[in-house]
């Protein structure tokens, strides 16, 4: 897609259509035919680490402790602010300095002289910014344009519907559909990959909606009941702690009284009778 817009004669803009086969922006090796983008959530170890026909690329700090792929990492992308990474994630930054594969970054850093510039602006002009909000999306967008790509895999990401990474889930959906539309690329994901779930078109009319709603209400009622019990127990515990503190105070008072009433001065300190 080009960045040029022209008037349609009706006071609006005519936006050029997408090319079905975009020109590659990031030049990747021709032998990269099967590529797996890896993260560090619970499915990361299902990625084809021991399959030499796959190339694995990464961008997650947690992967620094993972066993390296049988052929080593194909490439790495770090799109966060590097001075912040160096300051707050020292072990990960040290890992970046020792990488033996191409390292792409959004900015240069004096301690990473081997880093290659990620073509961020060029990719934004080609794909737009709306779906480029995570390293996953950047990788998939780059791979869309790779003419030799036959298989694309995604392991180790937990972008569930309605979850913390909802925006990343939308990015994945968009670029997965683009990859299939442009190239007919085969998509590989973990079994029951939750990030591919979508909301029904008319969720309120779904036949299972009523049962789910009823079950949710049961759970919410049980949750409130348990929380009420916990609140009462915590109140009772606080009352018992206050009572115990009062007992300790009474004992200290009793000890003082005992010393005052029953204690005797050592004769050496008593006045002499002479």
Q: What DSSP line would sit under 106-173, residue for residue? A: SS--TT-TTPEEP-HHHHHHHH-STT--SHHHHHHHHHHT-TT--EEEEES----TTSTTHHHHHHHH
pLDDT of 35: 95
Superfamily of domain 23-196: Alpha-2,3-sialyltransferase (3.90.1480.10)
23: Cα separation from own chain's centroid: 31
The low-confidence residues of the chain, meaning pLDDT below 50, are 1-21, 161-162
Contact 131, 170 (CB under 8 A): yes
Distances (CA, A) of 2 to 18, 126, 130, 137: 8, 7, 16, 20
| Cα 57 to Cα 72: distance, rounded to the nearest angstrom | 9
Q: What is the pLDDT of residue 175?
A: 65
- Please state the pTM of the whole predicted model: 0.62
The reported pLDDT for the residue numbered 8 is 43
Percent of the chain with pLDDT over 70: 72
Q: Please tell me the predicted confidence (pLDDT) of residue 273.
A: 61
Q: How high is the pLDDT of residue 146?
A: 85
Residues 223-260: pLDDT tens digits?
A: 999 999 999 999 999 999 999 999 999 998 888 888 78
CA distance 198 to 11: 37
């Amino acid at each position: 897609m080009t960045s040029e817009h022209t008037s349609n004669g009706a006071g609006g803009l005519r936006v050029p259509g997408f090319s079905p086969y975009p020109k590659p922006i990031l030049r990747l090796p021709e032998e990269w035919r099967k590529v797996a983008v890896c993260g560090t959530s619970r499915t990361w170890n299902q990625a084809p680490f021991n399959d030499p026909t796959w190339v694995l690329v990464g961008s997650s700090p947690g992967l620094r402790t993972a066993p390296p792929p049988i052929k080593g990492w194909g490439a790495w992308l770090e799109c966060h602010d590097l001075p912040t990474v160096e300051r707050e994630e020292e072990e990960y930054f040290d890992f970046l300095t020792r990488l033996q594969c191409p390292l792409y970054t959004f900015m240069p850093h004096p301690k990473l002289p081997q880093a290659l510039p990620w073509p961020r602006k060029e990719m934004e002009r080609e794909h737009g910014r709306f779906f480029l909000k995570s390293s996953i999306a950047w990788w998939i967008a780059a791979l869309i344009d790779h003419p030799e790509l036959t298989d694309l895999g995604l392991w180790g990401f937990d972008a569930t519907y309605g979850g913390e990474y909802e925006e990343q889930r939308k990015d994945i959906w968009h670029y997965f559909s683009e990859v299939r539309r442009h190239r007919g690329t085969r998509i590989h994901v973990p079994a029951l990959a939750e990030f591919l779930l979508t909301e029904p078109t008319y969720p309120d009319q779904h036949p299972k909606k009523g049962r789910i709603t009823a079950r949710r209400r049961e759970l919410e009622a049980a949750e409130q009941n348990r929380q009420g019990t916990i609140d009462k127990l915590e109140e009772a515990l606080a009352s018992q702690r206050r009572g115990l503190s009062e007992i300790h105070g009474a004992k200290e008072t009793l000890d003082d009284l005992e010393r005052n009433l029953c204690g005797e001065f050592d004769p050496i300190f008593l006045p002499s009778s002479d």
